[in-house]
Structure 1
Amino acid sequence: MIKLFRNIRKKLLSEGKTANYLKYAIGEIVLVVIGILIALQINNWNEHRKELQKESVIVKELYKELQQNLKATTKHRQQIEEINQEVLFLLNISDDSLKLLTNEDLNQHIFNSSLISPFTPFNQKLKRILAIENFGFSHSKTLVNELQDYNNSIEGISSINLSARDVFKNRMVPFLSENLSLKNLMHEIYPEKITKNDSIVDVGPIIKSMAFENLYADLFASYTSYIFALERNIELTKNLITHIEKAYPSVISTK
């Protein structure tokens, strides 16, 4: 092709057709420019296609992680709610109800009120996305901001969880160790492994003490705030899942 163009130029020059030669040269330049532009457009298209493929993988991973987190956070909220119900039961227990419960029953309720566990979110994909500078979703202008709010919610929950566990570790455990038989508390859960302490500890008066009341009022406030934060996170998670399903139906349909 290049040889053909060269021969045409030589022929035009040899025939003295300068004007025609200039027109041809300009036309040849235009063709070259058009070819370059087409090549650039194809390259841009290929790069855009690769970016969309990469985005599809990210969306699939994020969608799966959100579903995992929704399941785990919902389960954790139920656990905290059950613990808080035990706290509320002991905090509001009446004298008449207290007479109907044995020390073993009360130990069981106290143990159940102290089962706070760590909060372990699934957020590795989320952190990776937020760490990519200037990352955006082609089908949604607001998704990144919503993910940031979601991440802030997770960090808030983790902070509240640590605070609740600190109350348990620094206040509840010392109080129970000083006033009750921890061995008997553990015996209620592991009767085949831990023998009962035969020393009688009357649990009722301890539960009705001001120190116990203040401790459990603090626990109730802490757990109630924790449950509220978990519920907000669950709502954010559901909204994000719905958002992704609407913005990326073709991607989600292949999950």
Structure 2
Amino acid sequence: MENKTSKYFKYAIGEILLVVIGILIAVQINSWNEHRKSKSNEIKTLTQLNIDLKSNYDEIVEMTEFLSQRNQDGEKILKHLSSNNQVSDSLKYWVESFSSGNIFNNANTTYKNLENSNENLISNDSIRLKITLIYEGDFANIHRREKMVYEEYFPNYKRELLKNFKTSPVMDKWLENQTLEVNTPINLDDLKQNEAYKNVAVELLNFRLLRLRWLNQTIERLEALIKTIDEEIEHLNQ
């Protein structure tokens, strides 16, 4: 009887051990699957985020080129007004160019999804912080400065522009023999002496120079962040 009890006891312990081992293996497999799923989601999120960041990078580079060209044309206007030159098609073009603006279309869908998610989709704290700083710092500042341009600098400049330039075509006959006088000074000699127009033009030009400096700093930070995310994706894929 004692021998049978001992065998039964050993058998029971063996059964328990098998059950425990089975549970541990199941937990480990489940944990591994969850980790693999989490890792796959993180790679997908970082990949999509870098697509957005690269789109923003390209647009900001275009913005710097656009603003640089606008400022070059603004400098040509001021130079023209300080010379003995008369009205030319080039002057009309420069005025049109200098008076135009652009808007930053922030690609932020992936970032918004990250903000609204209850999961920690990006495990690297440093990368997550840098992403937040780009969107909440750099990109938000770009929008704020655009608002300043359109609410402060442009209205001041446009007011003087309307006082000193013709802003619509003059028709000799309806749809016939058009004489386009858009952006033609009403009186060039008076305009050359008009410090109010020159002052608002210089203010707009100088603020654009500041924006260019800030945009170039953002470009540098974006380049570094995109590279860091690419390296993180490569690391997670290993």
Q: TM-score, normalised by structure 2?
A: 0.83
1:74 aligns with 2:61: yes
1:223 aligns with 2:208: yes
Count of residues in correspondence between the two structures: 231
Q: Deviations over 1:38-78 (max 9, x none)?
A: 10110111111111111221122122222222211111110
TM-aligned CA deviation for residue 133 of structure 1: 4.1
Could you tell me whether the CA contact under 8 Å between 1:83 and 1:113 is conserved in 2? yes
Could you tell me whether the CA contact under 8 Å between 1:161 and 1:226 is conserved in 2? no
Of residues 97, 116, 140 in structure 1, which corresponds to 2:101?
A: 116
CA distance in 2, matches of 1:153, 1:232: 9
TM-aligned CA deviation for residue 93 of structure 1: 5.0
CA distance in 2, matches of 1:194, 1:74: 38
Tell which deviates more after alignment, 40-49 or 243-252: 243-252
TM-aligned CA deviation for residue 201 of structure 1: 1.9
TM-aligned CA deviation for residue 219 of structure 1: 0.3
Tell which deviates more after alignment, 236-245 or 205-214: 205-214
Tell which deviates more after alignment, 167-176 or 29-38: 167-176
Q: Which residue of 1 aligns with 2:127?
A: 143
Q: Which residue of 1 aligns with 2:18?
A: 31
CA distance in 2, matches of 1:146, 1:36: 41
Could you tell me whether the CA contact under 8 Å between 2:122 and 2:128 is conserved in 1? yes
TM-aligned CA deviation for residue 251 of structure 1: 7.6
**AA matched with 1:224:** L
CA distance in 1, matches of 2:148, 2:120: 33
TM-aligned CA deviation for residue 82 of structure 1: 0.8
List gaps (5 residues or longer) in structure 2: none
1:40 aligns with 2:27: yes
CA distance in 1, matches of 2:122, 2:189: 59
1:242 aligns with 2:227: yes
Q: State the structure with more CA Rg.
A: 1
Q: Deviations over 1:72-98 (max 9, x none)?
A: 111111001111222233345563xx3
Which one has the bigger strand percentage? 2
TM-aligned CA deviation for residue 244 of structure 1: 1.8
Runs of 4+ residues over 6 Å off in structure 1: none
Q: Which residue of 2 aligns with 1:232?
A: 217
TM-aligned CA deviation for residue 197 of structure 1: 4.6
Q: Which residue of 2 aligns with 1:165?
A: 150
CA distance in 1, matches of 2:80, 2:168: 23
| Percent of pairs with identical residues | 24
- The CA RMSD measured in Å over matched residues stands at 3.0
Q: SS of the counterpart of 2:73?
A: helix
Q: Which residue of 2 aligns with 1:53?
A: 40
> Structure 2 vs 1, CA of residues 200 and 161 (structure 1 numbering), >3 Å: closer, same or farther?
closer
TM-aligned CA deviation for residue 130 of structure 1: 3.6
List gaps (5 residues or longer) in structure 1: 1-13
Q: TM-score, normalised by structure 1?
A: 0.78
> Structure 2 vs 1, CA of residues 91 and 166 (structure 1 numbering), >3 Å: closer, same or farther?
farther
1:154 aligns with 2:139: yes
User: What is the correspondence of 1:3-14 to structure 2 with a 5 Å cutoff?
Assistant: none
